[in-house]
């Protein structure tokens, strides 16, 4: 019974204090809309810049050196006024020499004032041992004082090597991985 009386007394006290507060004069700030806060730059960052339209007036040649599997040198040339590049290369895969032709598409993923990140998928054919492959380059490009452009990146992919009836030791088709670092110069 004592607990009931304490609970009733507490409820009456809260009611009395709350009704006394209603009889007071209203706060002058109520009803005034607060001023809008300026946007926080950390919560709403500026959008990343997009790549500008293609400028085909310069930088139509590239020279790339690959270190890894395979090791070699590639020369690339822009095809017309597009993002397509033709490529010819020579090198060695482990100890096997090769020559290759490739068609590659250049996609600008992010561009800042002097830096560029590009993704370049390509398809290639290789000889003298016949092979066909697909790969993709992930390139960071930097322009030095507007005159020299250097590149470095990673090239990943795979080739299918075709060994026919002319080879008496191995018959069939088997995959060969492509994984190398690439360093380049665009001019």
The separation between the first and the last C-alpha atoms of the chain, rounded to the nearest angstrom, is 95
CA triple 107-111-115, angle to 5 deg? 110
Q: How many CA atoms lie within 13 A of 134 on its CB side?
A: 1
**Residue pointed to by tokens 């730059």:** 41
- The answer for 94, left when phi > 0, alpha when psi is -120 to 50, beta otherwise, is left
Per-residue pLDDT at 146 exceeds 60 = yes
Return the DSSP state at 115. E
Per-residue pLDDT at 17 exceeds 80 = no
CA triple 127-131-136, angle to 5 deg? 110
In this predicted structure, what is the pLDDT of residue 132?
Answer: 95
In this predicted structure, what is the pLDDT of residue 24?
Answer: 56
pLDDT band at 38 (very low <50, low <70, confident <90, very high): confident
In this predicted structure, what is the pLDDT of residue 30?
Answer: 65
pTM: 0.66
In this predicted structure, what is the pLDDT of residue 81?
Answer: 87
pLDDT 10s digits, 106-127: 999 988 888 889 999 999 999 8
- Give just the sign of the alpha carbon dihedral 133, 136, 141, 146: positive
In this predicted structure, what is the pLDDT of residue 152?
Answer: 96
For the chain, what is the radius of gyration of the CA atoms?
A: 34
Q: How many CA atoms lie within 13 A of 50 on its CB side?
A: 3
CATH fold label, 61-186 = Porin (2.40.160)
The DSSP element (H or E) to which 19 belongs, if any, is: helix 2-22
């Amino acid at each position: 019974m004592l607990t009931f009386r304490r609970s009733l007394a507490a409820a009456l006290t809260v009611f009395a204090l709350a009704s006394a507060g209603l009889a007071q004069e209203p706060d002058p700030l109520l009803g005034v809309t607060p001023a809008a806060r300026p946007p926080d730059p950390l919560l709403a960052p500026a959008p990343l810049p997009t790549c500008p339209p293609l400028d085909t007036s310069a930088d139509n040649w590239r020279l790339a050196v690959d270190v890894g599997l395979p090791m070699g040198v590639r020369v690339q040339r822009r095809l017309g006024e597009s993002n397509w590049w033709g490529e010819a290369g020579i090198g060695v895969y482990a100890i096997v020499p090769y020559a290759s032709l490739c068609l590659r598409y250049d996609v600008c993923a992010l561009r800042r004032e002097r830096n560029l990140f590009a993704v370049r998928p390509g398809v290639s054919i290789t000889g003298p041992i016949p092979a066909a492959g697909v790969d993709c380059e992930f390139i960071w490009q930097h322009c030095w004082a507007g005159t020299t452009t250097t590149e470095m990146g990673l090239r990943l992919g795979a080739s299918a090597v075709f060994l026919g009836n002319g080879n008496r030791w191995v018959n069939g088709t088997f995959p060969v991985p492509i994984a190398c670092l690439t360093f380049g110069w665009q001019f």
